[in-house]
């Protein structure tokens, strides 16, 4: 059975409940009961009410998950894109090596003389000897060596699984080294891979440490009007360069980005900006909340993925600052940029209209990229996060009802209070209330499900078995995921677009990025090449095995 034809021009989705049942049928009863809570048929009711989904819980052992580890979320994701914090992985060499630039986060120092450590992968390269006798000595030596070579402003130390298992105290090593080098800010992250159920734990650990040890360390406010920070933008494939171009053209001042194309000093003085806008809610909502409490900086959610979403986000930022001239400049810019966007979009939409997509990515892109597909007339049949929480699916309104389990309790919640000297409300009560009318949704995020069609299948922590059924039943025109999924999906005859690393392309953010994306999707979904592929497992008999013991 294929439900593809049933989507029709109106983009209605049907058959989802049956497909869900088929996915669950193969599982043992206990596993099926659990997965049933993580596979949800979407239904959007009044006030953005959507069904409840189970998320941010352990992957069931034996299931082939798409997830990564806490170290990846901390070192790779949140800190990785900063070019002048020297980052040392304390662990065996694999962790440092495999997290070395594979995410394609780019950077561009403001001048050639400024440091950029991103091309380096620094690791203590733990051996058996350190696993047995402890690795703190080697870590301190590595820091000394790194200081000799690079003289950085700041050093971040990142723990891998064995570090926690053998009990190395990386924090005291950091303190000791900071006493030796008082002009270098040295801090450590207890982001052992096993610290949480996914990379999401690593985001939280990274947010905590950057907030407590970096933000507020320097008073270096940037010159310029309308100064704000972007939280949760990581400059994959050059996205930040396009976003910076747009912000400059509007005459606004981007103070710091956490952490695409960023520098240590920008983090350290981020508390001097007047607004935080949050792009990836999952990875950095903690920072937004903590900066609001301590320094009085309001935040709201924006999205620069999709030409319309980008325009809307710019309008929201301009409305927040409330300056007539700024609002005019933003409108002029949008009008100018949309000429080329519309020319390309209309041409491509004619070929892509009615086609279907599926997105299974991280903790925010499965939502954000639906905008781009919508713009060229494509329907998202099914989507899900690898490690999103319920609020990323259902919206922040469910935050009070999320049960905190032991895995989450493992990660420290910082107690944050208003800074006695530096807390400064950016707007008075009346002004904030006025802004709520402008649909800025301060401190809120509506989540992915409210913006998706009824009957779309929402699947948390998708696995290989379920992906196969999605392909067979829905026959999507394009599947969006990552490198681990890419070749299995493509061998099945469906093109896969990597939405983590963007394959070898980008940017996809902003107006120019939207054009890049439309063009690539057009080439993928309208190419015949994938229909000629015959999967190796369809050509050759399957190798079946059985497990026998005590025979």
Interface pick for ligand CFM out of 155, 159, 273, 361 (rule CB under 6 A): 361
Does residue number 363 form part of the binding site for ligand CFM (CB under 6 A)? yes
Interface pick for ligand CFM out of 99, 185, 364, 516 (rule CB under 6 A): 364
Measured in whole angstroms, the distance separating CA 59 from the mean position of its chain's CA atoms is 19
Q: In terms of CB distance, is 91 or 232 closer to ligand CFM?
A: 232
Tokens of 348: 């491509």
Instruction: To the nearest 10°, report the CA torsion of 104, 107, 108, 110.
Output: 180
Catalytic residue among 20, 67, 104, 203: 203
Q: How far is the CB of 284 from ligand CFM (least distance, A)?
A: 8
27-86 binders of ligand CFM (CB under 6 A): 73, 77
Strand partners, 496: 479
Q: In terms of CB distance, is 306 or 362 closer to ligand CFM?
A: 362
- With tokens 């400024």, the residue in question is 114
Count of residues for the chain? 551
Does residue number 280 form part of the binding site for ligand CFM (CB under 6 A)? yes
Catalytic residue among 35, 83, 90, 103: 103
| Measured distance CA(359)–CA(478) in Å, rounded | 9
Q: In terms of CB distance, is 42 or 498 closer to ligand CFM?
A: 498
Candidates 34-42, 89-97, 360-368, 506-514; binding stretch for ligand CFM (CB under 6 A): 360-368
Candidates 204-212, 231-239, 296-304, 518-526; binding stretch for ligand CFM (CB under 6 A): 231-239
Tokens of 215: 């933000």
Does residue number 103 form part of the binding site for ligand CFM (CB under 6 A)? yes
Contact pattern from residue 499 through residue 518 relative to ligand CFM, giving x for each residue in contact according to CB under 6 A and a dash for the rest:
-x------------------
Strand partners, 442: 300
Interface pick for ligand CFM out of 234, 393, 508, 517 (rule CB under 6 A): 234
Give Cβ neighbours of residue 530 (< 8 Å, ≥ 6 apart): 490, 493, 494, 495
Tokens of 466: 């379920």
Q: In terms of CB distance, is 76 or 298 closer to ligand CFM?
A: 76
521-550 binders of ligand CFM (CB under 6 A): none
Q: How far is the CB of 77 from ligand CFM (least distance, A)?
A: 4
- By the 8 A CB rule, do 297 and 273 touch? yes
Residue 315: active-site member:
no
| Measured distance CA(435)–CA(300) in Å, rounded | 11
Candidates 12-20, 230-238, 269-277, 454-462; binding stretch for ligand CFM (CB under 6 A): 230-238
Give Cβ neighbours of residue 463 (< 8 Å, ≥ 6 apart): 63, 64, 65, 66
Q: How far is the CB of 192 from ligand CFM (least distance, A)?
A: 17
168-207 binders of ligand CFM (CB under 6 A): 199
Reference 256, options 279, 222, 300, 223; nearest CA is: 222
- By the 8 A CB rule, do 156 and 123 touch? no
Q: How far is the CB of 150 from ligand CFM (least distance, A)?
A: 26
Q: How far is the CB of 257 from ligand CFM (least distance, A)?
A: 12
Number of alpha carbons in the 13 Å side-chain half-sphere of residue 541? 3
Does residue number 283 form part of the binding site for ligand CFM (CB under 6 A)? yes
Question: Rounded to 5 degrees, what are φ and ψ at 49?
Answer: -75, 130
Residue 389: active-site member:
no
| Measured distance CA(177)–CA(408) in Å, rounded | 31
Give Cβ neighbours of residue 502 (< 8 Å, ≥ 6 apart): 104, 236, 237, 508
Q: Which residue is nearest to ligand CFM (CB)?
A: 362
Residue 69: active-site member:
yes
Footprint on this chain of ligand CFM (rule: CB under 6 A): 73, 77, 103, 199, 232, 234, 236, 280, 282-283, 361-365, 500
Catalytic residues: 69, 72, 103, 203
């Amino acid at each position: 059975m294929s439900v593809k034809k049933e989507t029709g021009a109106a983009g209605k989705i049907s058959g989802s409940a049956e497909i869900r049942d088929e996915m669950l049928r193969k599982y043992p009863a206990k596993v099926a009961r659990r997965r049933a809570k993580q596979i949800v048929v979407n239904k959007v009711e009044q006030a953005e009410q959507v069904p409840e989904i189970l998320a941010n819980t352990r992957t069931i052992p034996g299931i082939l998950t798409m997830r990564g580890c806490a170290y990846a979320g901390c070192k790779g994701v949140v800190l990785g894109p900063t070019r002048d914090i020297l980052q040392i992985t304390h662990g065996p060499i694999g962790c440092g090596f495999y997290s070395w630039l594979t995410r394609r986060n780019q950077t561009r120092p403001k001048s050639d003389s400024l440091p950029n450590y991103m091309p380096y992968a620094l690791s203590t390269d733990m051996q058996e000897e350190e696993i047995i006798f402890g690795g703190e000595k080697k870590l301190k030596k590595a820091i000394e060596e790194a200081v000799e070579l690079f003289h950085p402003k700041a050093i971040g130390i990142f723990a891998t699984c064995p570090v926690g298992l053998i009990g190395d105290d990386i924090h005291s090593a950091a303190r000791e080294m900071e006493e030796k080098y008082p002009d270098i800010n040295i801090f450590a992250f207890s982001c052992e891979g096993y610290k949480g159920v996914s990379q999401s734990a690593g985001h939280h650990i990274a947010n905590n440490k950057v907030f407590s040890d970096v933000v507020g360390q320097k008073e270096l406010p940037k010159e310029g009007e309308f100064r704000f920070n972007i939280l949760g933008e990581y400059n994959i494939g050059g996205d930040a360069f396009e976003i910076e171009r747009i912000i400059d053209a509007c005459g606004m001042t981007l103070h710091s980005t956490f952490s695409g194309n960023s520098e240590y000093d920008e983090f350290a003085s981020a508390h001097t900006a007047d607004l935080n806008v949050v792009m990836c809610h999952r990875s950095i909502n903690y920072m937004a909340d903590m900066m609001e409490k301590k320094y009085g900086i309001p935040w709201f959610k924006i999205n620069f993925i999709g030409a319309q979403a980008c325009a809307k986000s710019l309008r929201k930022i301009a409305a927040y600052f409330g300056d007539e001239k700024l609002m005019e400049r933003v409108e002029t810019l949008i009008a100018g940029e949309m000429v080329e966007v519309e020319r390309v979009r209309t041409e491509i939409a004619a070929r892509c209209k009615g086609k279907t997509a599926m997105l299974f990515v991280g903790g925010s892109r499965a939502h954000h990229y639906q905008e781009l597909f919508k713009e060229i007339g494509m329907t998202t049949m099914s989507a899900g996060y690898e490690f999103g929480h319920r609020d990323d699916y259902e919206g922040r309104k469910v935050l009070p009802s999320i049960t905190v389990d032991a895995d989450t309790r493992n990660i420290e919640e910082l107690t944050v209070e208003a800074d006695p000297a530096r807390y400064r409300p950016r707007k008075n009560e009346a002004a904030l209330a006025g802004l709520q009318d402008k649909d800025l949704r301060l401190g809120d995020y509506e989540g992915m499900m409210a913006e998706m069609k009824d009957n779309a299948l929402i699947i948390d922590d998708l696995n290989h078995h379920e992906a196969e059924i999605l392909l067979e039943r829905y026959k999507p025109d394009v599947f969006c995921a990552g490198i681990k999924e890419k070749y299995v999906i493509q061998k099945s005859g469906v093109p896969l677009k990597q939405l983590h690393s963007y394959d070898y392309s980008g940017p996809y953010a902003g107006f120019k990025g939207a054009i890049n994306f439309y063009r690539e999707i057009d080439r993928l979904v309208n190419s015949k090449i994938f229909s000629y592929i015959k999967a190796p497992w369809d050509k050759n008999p399957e190798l079946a095995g059985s497990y026998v013991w005590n025979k």
